[in-house]
Structure 1
Amino acid sequence: MTRHRTAWGLGLSGLIPFIACLVVAFLGPTAWQVTAVYAFVYYAAVILSFLGGAHWGAVLQRTDKARMPGDIRRLALAMLPSLIAWPSLMLSPVMGIWVLMVGFVLIWIYDLSREGRFGWPKWYLLLRSVLTVVVVLAHAGMVLRLGESAWGF
Protein backbone atom coordinates (compact mmCIF):
# COMPACT_ATOMS: atom_id res chain seq x y z
CA MET A 1 0.00 0.00 0.00
CA THR A 2 1.36 3.43 -0.87
CA ARG A 3 1.94 6.19 1.69
CA HIS A 4 -0.80 8.13 -0.02
CA ARG A 5 -3.40 5.38 0.47
CA THR A 6 -2.20 4.66 4.00
CA ALA A 7 -2.50 8.32 4.96
CA TRP A 8 -6.01 8.47 3.52
CA GLY A 9 -7.02 5.32 5.39
CA LEU A 10 -5.58 6.51 8.68
CA GLY A 11 -6.96 10.02 8.23
CA LEU A 12 -10.46 8.78 7.52
CA SER A 13 -10.30 6.32 10.42
CA GLY A 14 -9.33 9.27 12.62
CA LEU A 15 -12.85 10.58 12.03
CA ILE A 16 -14.37 7.58 13.82
CA PRO A 17 -14.00 9.02 17.35
CA PHE A 18 -15.60 12.31 16.27
CA ILE A 19 -18.55 10.55 14.66
CA ALA A 20 -18.91 7.95 17.43
CA CYS A 21 -18.93 10.62 20.14
CA LEU A 22 -21.48 12.64 18.20
CA VAL A 23 -23.77 9.62 17.76
CA VAL A 24 -23.51 8.67 21.44
CA ALA A 25 -24.13 12.29 22.47
CA PHE A 26 -27.43 12.19 20.58
CA LEU A 27 -28.54 8.59 21.09
CA GLY A 28 -26.71 7.07 24.05
CA PRO A 29 -27.86 6.71 27.65
CA THR A 30 -27.65 10.01 29.55
CA ALA A 31 -24.45 9.12 31.43
CA TRP A 32 -22.80 8.11 28.16
CA GLN A 33 -23.92 11.33 26.49
CA VAL A 34 -22.02 13.41 29.04
CA THR A 35 -18.92 11.25 28.62
CA ALA A 36 -19.23 11.46 24.83
CA VAL A 37 -19.25 15.27 24.91
CA TYR A 38 -16.10 15.39 27.03
CA ALA A 39 -14.43 12.67 24.96
CA PHE A 40 -15.22 14.68 21.81
CA VAL A 41 -13.60 17.82 23.24
CA TYR A 42 -10.50 15.98 24.46
CA TYR A 43 -10.03 14.12 21.19
CA ALA A 44 -10.50 17.32 19.19
CA ALA A 45 -7.82 19.03 21.30
CA VAL A 46 -5.38 16.19 20.67
CA ILE A 47 -6.02 16.18 16.92
CA LEU A 48 -5.73 19.97 16.64
CA SER A 49 -2.36 19.79 18.43
CA PHE A 50 -1.28 17.01 16.05
CA LEU A 51 -1.96 19.28 13.07
CA GLY A 52 0.47 21.84 14.40
CA GLY A 53 3.10 19.15 14.86
CA ALA A 54 2.71 18.15 11.23
CA HIS A 55 4.04 21.58 10.23
CA TRP A 56 7.09 21.09 12.42
CA GLY A 57 7.68 17.86 10.54
CA ALA A 58 7.25 19.60 7.19
CA VAL A 59 10.02 22.07 8.04
CA LEU A 60 12.38 19.72 9.84
CA GLN A 61 12.21 16.82 7.36
CA ARG A 62 13.80 18.78 4.56
CA THR A 63 17.36 17.63 3.97
CA ASP A 64 18.49 20.71 2.08
CA LYS A 65 20.44 23.17 4.16
CA ALA A 66 18.87 26.23 2.59
CA ARG A 67 16.48 28.03 4.87
CA MET A 68 13.22 28.68 3.13
CA PRO A 69 11.50 32.01 3.63
CA GLY A 70 8.88 31.52 6.30
CA ASP A 71 10.52 28.51 8.03
CA ILE A 72 10.83 30.33 11.35
CA ARG A 73 7.30 31.71 11.07
CA ARG A 74 5.96 28.28 10.13
CA LEU A 75 7.60 26.68 13.17
CA ALA A 76 6.17 29.39 15.41
CA LEU A 77 2.69 29.15 13.86
CA ALA A 78 2.84 25.38 14.30
CA MET A 79 2.63 26.04 18.06
CA LEU A 80 -0.71 27.84 17.77
CA PRO A 81 -2.93 24.76 17.47
CA SER A 82 -1.60 23.46 20.80
CA LEU A 83 -1.99 26.88 22.36
CA ILE A 84 -5.61 26.93 21.20
CA ALA A 85 -6.36 23.30 22.09
CA TRP A 86 -4.98 23.18 25.61
CA PRO A 87 -6.93 26.14 27.05
CA SER A 88 -10.09 24.88 25.35
CA LEU A 89 -10.02 21.97 27.80
CA MET A 90 -10.43 24.42 30.68
CA LEU A 91 -13.55 26.02 29.24
CA SER A 92 -17.11 24.79 29.38
CA PRO A 93 -17.72 22.05 26.81
CA VAL A 94 -19.75 24.45 24.65
CA MET A 95 -17.07 27.15 24.63
CA GLY A 96 -14.33 24.55 24.19
CA ILE A 97 -16.07 23.14 21.12
CA TRP A 98 -16.41 26.62 19.62
CA VAL A 99 -12.75 27.43 20.26
CA LEU A 100 -11.61 24.10 18.81
CA MET A 101 -13.80 24.54 15.74
CA VAL A 102 -12.23 27.94 15.08
CA GLY A 103 -8.79 26.37 15.60
CA PHE A 104 -9.49 23.69 12.98
CA VAL A 105 -10.65 26.32 10.50
CA LEU A 106 -7.62 28.55 11.14
CA ILE A 107 -5.05 25.76 10.66
CA TRP A 108 -6.92 24.66 7.52
CA ILE A 109 -6.73 28.20 6.12
CA TYR A 110 -3.01 28.24 6.89
CA ASP A 111 -2.56 24.80 5.29
CA LEU A 112 -4.09 26.14 2.08
CA SER A 113 -1.96 29.29 2.09
CA ARG A 114 1.14 29.52 -0.08
CA GLU A 115 3.45 29.17 2.91
CA GLY A 116 1.41 26.50 4.67
CA ARG A 117 1.09 24.17 1.70
CA PHE A 118 4.81 24.21 0.89
CA GLY A 119 6.31 20.75 1.14
CA TRP A 120 3.07 18.78 1.03
CA PRO A 121 2.03 16.58 -1.89
CA LYS A 122 -1.12 17.77 -3.67
CA TRP A 123 -3.17 14.82 -2.42
CA TYR A 124 -2.44 15.84 1.19
CA LEU A 125 -4.28 19.14 0.82
CA LEU A 126 -7.34 17.33 -0.50
CA LEU A 127 -7.15 14.91 2.44
CA ARG A 128 -6.80 17.80 4.91
CA SER A 129 -9.78 19.55 3.33
CA VAL A 130 -12.02 16.48 3.50
CA LEU A 131 -11.04 15.76 7.08
CA THR A 132 -11.46 19.37 8.19
CA VAL A 133 -14.90 19.71 6.64
CA VAL A 134 -16.10 16.56 8.42
CA VAL A 135 -14.50 17.62 11.72
CA VAL A 136 -16.04 21.11 11.56
CA LEU A 137 -19.45 19.62 10.73
CA ALA A 138 -19.07 17.24 13.69
CA HIS A 139 -18.29 20.24 15.92
CA ALA A 140 -21.38 22.02 14.61
CA GLY A 141 -23.40 18.87 15.30
CA MET A 142 -22.12 18.74 18.87
CA VAL A 143 -23.00 22.40 19.37
CA LEU A 144 -26.47 21.61 18.03
CA ARG A 145 -26.73 18.68 20.45
CA LEU A 146 -25.83 20.93 23.38
CA GLY A 147 -28.79 23.14 22.58
CA GLU A 148 -29.80 26.52 21.34
CA SER A 149 -27.97 28.32 24.14
CA ALA A 150 -24.77 26.81 22.77
CA TRP A 151 -24.95 29.18 19.78
CA GLY A 152 -24.32 32.15 22.05
CA PHE A 153 -27.44 34.12 21.09
Structure 2
Amino acid sequence: MPKHAALLGYLGLIPFFAIPVAVLMDILSYPQAFAFFTQYSAIILSFFGGIHWYVAITDPKFSHQLYVAMLPSIVAWLALILFADARTLGVLSLAYVAVLIYDKFTLQMAPAQIIEYTRMRVILTTLVVTSHVVMVGLS
Protein backbone atom coordinates (compact mmCIF):
# COMPACT_ATOMS: atom_id res chain seq x y z
CA MET A 1 0.00 0.00 0.00
CA PRO A 2 1.41 3.44 -0.83
CA LYS A 3 2.79 5.30 2.18
CA HIS A 4 0.69 8.36 1.42
CA ALA A 5 -2.46 6.22 1.55
CA ALA A 6 -1.52 4.98 5.02
CA LEU A 7 -0.65 8.52 6.10
CA LEU A 8 -4.05 9.77 4.95
CA GLY A 9 -5.71 6.94 6.84
CA TYR A 10 -4.01 7.94 10.07
CA LEU A 11 -4.61 11.66 9.47
CA GLY A 12 -8.29 10.80 9.22
CA LEU A 13 -8.16 10.07 12.95
CA ILE A 14 -7.56 13.72 13.83
CA PRO A 15 -11.23 14.71 14.16
CA PHE A 16 -11.93 11.61 16.23
CA PHE A 17 -9.46 12.87 18.81
CA ALA A 18 -9.68 16.64 18.31
CA ILE A 19 -13.43 16.84 18.91
CA PRO A 20 -13.39 15.18 22.36
CA VAL A 21 -10.37 17.31 23.30
CA ALA A 22 -12.29 20.40 22.20
CA VAL A 23 -15.07 19.43 24.63
CA LEU A 24 -12.60 18.91 27.46
CA MET A 25 -11.05 22.32 26.75
CA ASP A 26 -14.48 24.01 26.58
CA ILE A 27 -13.91 24.99 22.96
CA LEU A 28 -17.07 23.14 21.91
CA SER A 29 -20.20 22.35 23.86
CA TYR A 30 -21.05 18.67 24.07
CA PRO A 31 -24.15 18.98 21.83
CA GLN A 32 -22.13 20.79 19.18
CA ALA A 33 -19.27 18.31 19.44
CA PHE A 34 -21.68 15.37 19.36
CA ALA A 35 -23.16 16.62 16.08
CA PHE A 36 -19.74 17.19 14.53
CA PHE A 37 -18.40 13.86 15.78
CA THR A 38 -21.32 11.71 14.67
CA GLN A 39 -21.48 13.37 11.27
CA TYR A 40 -17.77 12.83 10.68
CA SER A 41 -17.99 9.27 11.94
CA ALA A 42 -20.89 8.50 9.60
CA ILE A 43 -18.99 9.93 6.62
CA ILE A 44 -15.90 7.86 7.40
CA LEU A 45 -17.98 4.70 7.91
CA SER A 46 -19.55 5.32 4.50
CA PHE A 47 -16.09 5.49 2.98
CA PHE A 48 -15.44 1.85 3.93
CA GLY A 49 -17.92 0.65 1.36
CA GLY A 50 -15.62 1.98 -1.33
CA ILE A 51 -13.14 -0.87 -1.06
CA HIS A 52 -15.91 -3.35 -1.87
CA TRP A 53 -16.98 -1.25 -4.83
CA TYR A 54 -13.38 -1.25 -6.12
CA VAL A 55 -12.93 -4.99 -5.66
CA ALA A 56 -16.27 -5.72 -7.34
CA ILE A 57 -15.55 -3.70 -10.45
CA THR A 58 -11.97 -4.94 -10.85
CA ASP A 59 -12.52 -8.66 -10.28
CA PRO A 60 -15.68 -10.42 -11.58
CA LYS A 61 -15.51 -13.13 -8.92
CA PHE A 62 -16.23 -10.40 -6.33
CA SER A 63 -19.16 -8.80 -8.21
CA HIS A 64 -21.51 -9.50 -5.28
CA GLN A 65 -19.50 -6.96 -3.28
CA LEU A 66 -21.36 -4.15 -5.06
CA TYR A 67 -24.30 -4.86 -2.77
CA VAL A 68 -22.12 -4.90 0.32
CA ALA A 69 -20.54 -1.59 -0.72
CA MET A 70 -23.76 0.26 0.06
CA LEU A 71 -24.33 -1.12 3.56
CA PRO A 72 -21.93 1.13 5.53
CA SER A 73 -23.54 4.24 4.02
CA ILE A 74 -27.04 3.04 4.81
CA VAL A 75 -26.16 2.07 8.39
CA ALA A 76 -24.39 5.39 8.95
CA TRP A 77 -27.34 7.36 7.62
CA LEU A 78 -29.83 5.38 9.70
CA ALA A 79 -27.74 5.92 12.84
CA LEU A 80 -27.87 9.67 12.22
CA ILE A 81 -31.59 9.92 11.54
CA LEU A 82 -32.93 7.40 14.06
CA PHE A 83 -31.01 8.44 17.15
CA ALA A 84 -29.59 11.63 18.62
CA ASP A 85 -27.86 10.25 21.69
CA ALA A 86 -25.29 7.67 22.79
CA ARG A 87 -27.11 5.02 20.75
CA THR A 88 -25.83 6.76 17.61
CA LEU A 89 -22.27 6.27 18.81
CA GLY A 90 -23.05 2.66 19.73
CA VAL A 91 -24.50 1.85 16.31
CA LEU A 92 -21.60 3.54 14.54
CA SER A 93 -19.06 1.70 16.72
CA LEU A 94 -20.70 -1.66 16.12
CA ALA A 95 -20.81 -0.93 12.40
CA TYR A 96 -17.09 -0.11 12.32
CA VAL A 97 -16.31 -3.43 14.00
CA ALA A 98 -18.75 -5.37 11.81
CA VAL A 99 -17.31 -3.91 8.60
CA LEU A 100 -13.78 -4.66 9.77
CA ILE A 101 -14.66 -8.28 10.55
CA TYR A 102 -16.43 -8.64 7.22
CA ASP A 103 -13.45 -7.11 5.40
CA LYS A 104 -10.96 -9.40 7.14
CA PHE A 105 -12.87 -12.50 6.02
CA THR A 106 -14.04 -11.48 2.55
CA LEU A 107 -11.01 -9.63 1.27
CA GLN A 108 -8.47 -12.37 2.06
CA MET A 109 -8.25 -13.32 -1.61
CA ALA A 110 -7.95 -9.73 -2.82
CA PRO A 111 -4.70 -8.17 -4.09
CA ALA A 112 -1.85 -7.68 -1.60
CA GLN A 113 -2.47 -3.92 -1.26
CA ILE A 114 -5.96 -4.60 0.02
CA ILE A 115 -4.63 -7.11 2.55
CA GLU A 116 -2.30 -4.38 3.85
CA TYR A 117 -5.26 -2.03 3.97
CA THR A 118 -7.24 -4.43 6.17
CA ARG A 119 -4.27 -4.78 8.54
CA MET A 120 -4.13 -1.00 8.91
CA ARG A 121 -7.87 -0.95 9.46
CA VAL A 122 -7.51 -3.04 12.63
CA ILE A 123 -5.49 -0.22 14.19
CA LEU A 124 -7.70 2.53 12.80
CA THR A 125 -10.92 0.83 13.87
CA THR A 126 -9.60 0.23 17.38
CA LEU A 127 -8.74 3.92 17.73
CA VAL A 128 -12.02 5.07 16.21
CA VAL A 129 -14.13 2.87 18.49
CA THR A 130 -12.08 4.04 21.48
CA SER A 131 -12.82 7.65 20.53
CA HIS A 132 -16.53 6.77 20.38
CA VAL A 133 -16.32 5.39 23.92
CA VAL A 134 -14.63 8.62 25.04
CA MET A 135 -17.44 10.67 23.50
CA VAL A 136 -20.03 8.59 25.36
CA GLY A 137 -18.07 9.19 28.56
CA LEU A 138 -18.14 12.94 27.96
CA SER A 139 -21.93 13.09 27.76
Counterpart pick for 1:104 among 77, 96, 121: 96
**1:70-108 deviation digits (Å, cap 9, x = unpaired):** 531x22122111111001112113111111001101000
Counterpart pick for 1:37 among 27, 34, 39: 34
With normalisation by structure 1, the TM-score equals: 0.81
- The alignment's C-alpha RMSD in Å is 1.6
* Total equivalences in the alignment: 136
For structure 1, the residue ranges without an aligned partner over 5 or more in a row are: 147-153
Counterpart pick for 2:133 among 118, 140, 150: 140
**2:100–2:118 Cα contact (<8 Å) kept:** no
Matches within 5 A, 1:67-86: 67-68=60-61, 70-72=62-64, 74-86=65-77
With normalisation by structure 2, the TM-score equals: 0.88
- Greater Rg over alpha carbons, structure: 1
Counterpart pick for 1:56 among 39, 53, 58: 53
In structure 1, how many angstroms separate the alpha carbons of the residues matched to 2:70 and 2:78?
13
In structure 2, how many angstroms separate the alpha carbons of the residues matched to 1:117 and 1:39?
34
**1:4–1:123 Cα contact (<8 Å) kept:** no
Identity over the aligned pairs, expressed in percent?
34
Matches within 5 A, 1:10-21: 10-21=8-19
In structure 2, how many angstroms separate the alpha carbons of the residues matched to 1:123 and 1:54?
12
For structure 2, the residue ranges without an aligned partner over 5 or more in a row are: none
